[in-house]
């Protein structure tokens, strides 16, 4: 398989075409952004860490019967993935109140949510990723009701797999976002699962080990990502 032209450049990843029509290459860059791209920095080794972290997590999900886009590692910073027709919404599960939920609803950060909550957000930086619901998604033709139901089911299934994995490493999976796409009509987990797209706290101290360290200027961003990786059995 040969990597070809650049297809799409996101805030932290670049997508390349290949000589196989149904395969793409994801290149994880060292770019780190927050606040819809208003804050951007280069962090050494971040691309490598996130690429390997994502592959490790996707393997865990595949082993649990959740189909993912990721096929194999290509290099330290690249992986081969299935080409998907992406659905333009993010699926968010929150186990503990943090981030935008705290700002929107005025609840205390750290409040345990029982049961965990589910939210949809439209992927649109210009609109600051507004929250949407099932009615918006079907009315605008972004997905069918059947696909919506399956996205919810799979997002909670991911919670069932990863929450105990991180807990075993002494961490709380606070929240996370997922994206899905279609491959030959089948709904498949796409994009990535890294500390860029989830919140992880130390179980005892509540120390933040995720991208909030970058958002809030706490420092040691990549070092914290590596710590998370080691706690769940990935040696970087």
| 141 inside domain | yes
Residues 150 and 137 in one domain: yes
Residue pointed to by tokens 């450049």 = 9
Task: Please give the tally of structural domains in the chain.
Answer: 2
Choosing from 63, 82, 101, the residue where a domain stops is 82
Q: Is the per-residue pLDDT at 205 higher than 90?
A: yes
**Alpha helices by DSSP H, the chain:** 46-63, 100-105, 134-139, 145-168, 212-215, 221-231
| 226 inside domain | no
Beta carbons within 8 Å of 143's beta carbon, 6+ residues apart? 87, 89, 137, 151
* 65: confidence class by pLDDT, cuts 50, 70, 90: very high
Percent of the chain at pLDDT > 70 equals 100
Residues 149 and 201 in one domain: yes
| 228 inside domain | no
Residues 190 and 118 in one domain: yes
pTM of the model: 0.96
Q: Is the per-residue pLDDT at 193 higher than 90?
A: yes
Residues 208 and 106 in one domain: yes
Backbone angles phi, psi at 190, to 5 degrees: -120, -165
Backbone angles phi, psi at 63, to 5 degrees: -65, -25
Residues 48 and 102 in one domain: no
For 41, the domain range is: 3-82
- Taking only the tens place, the pLDDT of each residue in 106-156 is 999 999 999 999 999 999 989 999 999 999 999 999 999 999 999 999 999
Residues 135 and 204 in one domain: yes
Local structure of 203: helix, strand or coil: coil
Mean pLDDT of 1-16: 94
Note the pLDDT of residue 34: 83
Mean pLDDT of 62-75: 98
Residue 217 DSSP one-character state: T
Note the pLDDT of residue 232: 98
């Amino acid at each position: 398989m040969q990597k070809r032209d650049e297809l799409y450049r996101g805030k932290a990843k670049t997508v390349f075409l290949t000589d196989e029509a149904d395969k793409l290459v994801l290149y994880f860059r060292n770019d780190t952004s927050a606040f819809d791209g208003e804050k951007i920095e280069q962090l050494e080794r971040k691309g490598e860490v996130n690429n390997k972290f994502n592959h490790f997590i996707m393997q865990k999900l595949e082993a649990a019967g959740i189909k993912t886009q990721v096929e194999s590692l290509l290099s330290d910073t690249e992986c081969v993935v299935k080409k998907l027709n992406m659905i333009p919404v993010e699926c968010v599960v929150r186990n503990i109140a943090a981030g935008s939920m705290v700002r929107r609803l005025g609840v205390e950060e750290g409040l345990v949510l029982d049961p965990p909550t589910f939210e949809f957000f439209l992927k649109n930086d210009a609109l600051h990723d507004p929250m949407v619901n099932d009615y918006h998604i079907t009315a605008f033709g972004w997905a069918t009701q059947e696909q919506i139901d399956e996205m919810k089911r799979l997002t909670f299934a991911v919670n069932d797999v990863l929450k105990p994995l991180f807990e075993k490493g002494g961490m709380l999976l606070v929240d996370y976002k997922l994206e899905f796409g279609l491959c030959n009509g089948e709904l498949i987990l796409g994009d990535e699962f890294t500390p860029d797209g989830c919140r992880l706290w130390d179980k005892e101290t509540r120390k933040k080990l995720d991208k909030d360290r970058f958002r809030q200027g706490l420092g040691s961003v990549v070092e914290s990502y590596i710590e998370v990786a080691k706690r769940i059995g990935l040696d970087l």
